[in-house]
Amino acid sequence: MTELPVTREFGPRELRSALGRYATGVTVITACAPGGRRIGVTANSFTSVSLEPPLVSWCPAKRAPSLPDLQRATHFAVNVLAADQHHLSGQFATAAPDKFAGVAVQEGLGGVPLIEGALVRFECRTVRWVDAGDHLICLGEVERFDTGDGEPLVFHAGAYHVAARHPEF
Ligand SMILES: Cc1cc2nc3c(=O)[nH]c(=O)nc-3n(C[C@H](O)[C@H](O)[C@H](O)COP(=O)(O)O)c2cc1C
């Protein structure tokens, strides 16, 4: 069967805006490059994938300056930000000589920095990289996690929000 050509009536800007209607949490993906350089990247593309085996994914942009170091690291951590950590979202989304300045961390598996005060910290072993357009899909196996109390930071339509319980449910 011949496929009809798709005439897209949207560009990346419109698509990004529409995708932004899907509310997400906010994470900082951290890792430690073989030379010891600490990496931290704000990401809302984090997704749970499988319970058995325990797999999660996130999608780094191919043009992200930290990508080569991320790909050389054996492990990464997903730090799920609490509502009062919104400043960390901006800090890890902005290039700087030391993104970790003023950030309290503990050392996890593979030397990965774990951000104190995060709601959950999933420590993962990188198991696969998948090519996906202008991004990559990074698949990790969860080896350990710890959870804390607090409210999640929510990202929706390009702005930060706090979650409120639905009044009817
Ligand atoms: C709320 C939010 C979510 C983001 N999600 C992603 C993401 O899922 N993947 C990605 O590659 N960049 C994402 N970014 C952008 C990166 O955090 C940003 O480009 C960062 O500078 C990349 O780190 P690097 O410069 O150290 O490579 C997001 C930024 C914000 C503010």
Calculate what percentage of the chain has a pLDDT beyond 90: 94
Residue 72 lies in a domain: yes
Does 83 contact ligand 1 (Cβ within 6 A)? no
Residue 116 lies in a domain: yes
Does 78 contact ligand 1 (Cβ within 6 A)? no
**Mean pLDDT in residue range 46-71:** 98
Does 61 contact ligand 1 (Cβ within 6 A)? yes
Burial (CB count <10 Å: 0-12, 13-18, 19+), residue 66? buried
Domain range holding 141? 25-154
Residue 167 lies in a domain: no
**Mean pLDDT in residue range 43-55:** 98
Residue 6 lies in a domain: no
Confidence band (pLDDT; 50, 70, 90) for 7? confident
- CATH code at 80? 2.30.110.10
Calculate what percentage of the chain has a pLDDT beyond 70: 100
CA–CA gap between residue 160 and residue 93 (Å, rounded): 14
Residue 74 lies in a domain: yes
Residue 164 lies in a domain: no
Residue 19 lies in a domain: no
Q: What is the pLDDT of residue 36?
A: 94
Residue 11 lies in a domain: no
pTM summary value: 0.96
Angle at 116 between CA 114 and CA 118, to 5 degrees: 90
Q: What is the pLDDT of residue 19?
A: 97
Q: How many domains does the chain have?
A: 1
Find the helix or strand (DSSP H, E) in which 29 lies.
Answer: strand 27-32
